[in-house]
Amino acid sequence: MVVVMGAEATDEQVAAVVDLIEDAGGETFVSRGKHRTIVGLLGDTERFMALPLAGMSGVDQVVRIGKPYKLVAAESRPAASVVQVGNVAIGRDSFCVIAGPCAIETEEQAMSAARAAKAAGSHVLRGDAYKHRTSPYAFQGLAKRGLEILAQMRAETGLPVVTEVLHTSDVDLVASYADIIRIGARNMQNFQLLREVGRTRRPVMLKRGLSATIEEWLMAAEYIAQQGNEDIILCERGIRTYEPMTRNTLDLSAIPLVHRLSHLPVFVDPSHSSGKRELVAPLALAAVAVGADGVMIDIHPHPETALCDGPQALTTEELPPLVAEMGRVAEAVGKSLARQTPGLSAVGQ
């Protein structure tokens, strides 16, 4: 059960709700967010349904949610949520394109990808300074220098940026550069890291773990939401199956399923799921067709020399026709490409 209160509910109003429940023997958690305040009940909540919570001041709604995730559950909100990133409203009414290099390698490579992504109509840029590589001998990213180049990509294009954080100790640093902080597949169940990014007030993109069920993924999102940060974008990036011809198997059914189970927007990463350039466009179009709220695509000015994930990167020339085609499929399924309106959020403030 969750008690939904307004973001403007006073501390006294929240305390009154908590006291009523705890005096009746219940255990609570409080999540104070930008959009709303939630008082949640832990454990067997059946016997608390009779408490006169609905009439208390500051309370909008009392909802019974018998699931292991509550704040991110569809039942907890009257409508799908919209994550505002700069001027881009990420949600179910429009389709958003994120593009950029997998890893920031050099200033020249990153700026050239950033310019191409903008020219193609992308809404947000990607570029990682910290890479989670399967081999310890593979390129690990430029760290702080990479974040500085990311800031340059952002400043020159006026587009918001998303980048991955790997460690709890880097969260504040990454949050000071990123409009969206990304949690990668390998960290989906790094619960302390989830709590830390939940503590920030930056939007978070949460990728699905390599072997995570949809329910585990939503419970991971709940860790972020519980800290009062409900600006979460889910990203399906393929799961491990017996099929070796693709790097992972893109689970397209996750998109309509998540849309039923949760109010959060959900993206698709056709690059990391397939690992193959020739599959990126068909999977991106399929993502639009099943109702994804956006895609995140790797591009590189010279994929053959890329230090990370070259075989899956589109060239800068391959992106514009794909964006145009995604726009056509979006129209066909009742969505439209978001307008590209450069404008940055208050990063670093």
**Contact set with ligand PEP (CB under 6 A):** 102, 128, 132, 184-186, 207, 237, 269, 272
Q: Which residues of 18-56 are buried (b: 16+ CB within 10 A; e: fewer)?
A: bebbeeeebebebbebeebbbbbbeeebeebeebebeeb
The identity of residue 142, as a single letter, is L
Measured at the alpha carbon of residue 253, what is the angle toward residues 250 and 258, in degrees to the nearest 5? 110
102 is an interface residue for Mn ion by CB under 5 A: yes
Taking residue 156's Cβ as centre, other Cβ atoms within 10 Å add up to: 12
- Which of 86, 84, 83 lies closest to 345 in space, CA to CA? 86
DSSP-derived secondary structure letter, 105: -
229 or 312: whose CB is closer to Mn ion? Answer: 312
* Segment near Mn ion (CB under 5 A); pick from 112-120, 134-142, 277-285, 302-310: 302-310
Single residue of 309, 313, 330, 340 touching Mn ion by CB under 5 A: 309
- Dist CA 341 CA 336 (whole Å): 14
67 or 186: whose CB is closer to ligand PEP? Answer: 186
CB of 284 to Mn ion, least distance (A): 16
* Segment near Mn ion (CB under 5 A); pick from 101-109, 139-147, 253-261, 340-348: 101-109
299 binds, among Mn ion, ligand PEP, none (CB under 5 to 8 A by kind): none
222 or 309: whose CB is closer to Mn ion? Answer: 309
150 or 219: whose CB is closer to Mn ion? Answer: 150
Contact 67, 271 (CB under 8 A): no
- 11: CB partners within 8 A, 6+ apart: none
> What Å distances lie between residue 180 and 78, 163, 198, 225, CA to CA?
25, 7, 12, 15
- Range 202-261, binding Mn ion (CB under 5 A): none
20 or 161: whose CB is closer to ligand PEP? Answer: 161
302 binds, among ligand PEP, Mn ion, none (CB under 5 to 8 A by kind): none
212 binds, among ligand PEP, Mn ion, none (CB under 5 to 8 A by kind): none
**What is 114-172 written as a DSSP string?**
HHHHHHTT-SEEE-BSS---SSTTS----THHHHHHHHHHHHHH---EEEE---GGGHH
184 binds, among ligand PEP, Mn ion, none (CB under 5 to 8 A by kind): ligand PEP
Residue, CB closest to ligand PEP: 184
CB of 308 to Mn ion, least distance (A): 5
> Which residues of the shown chain bind Mn ion in the complex (CB under 5 A)?
102, 309
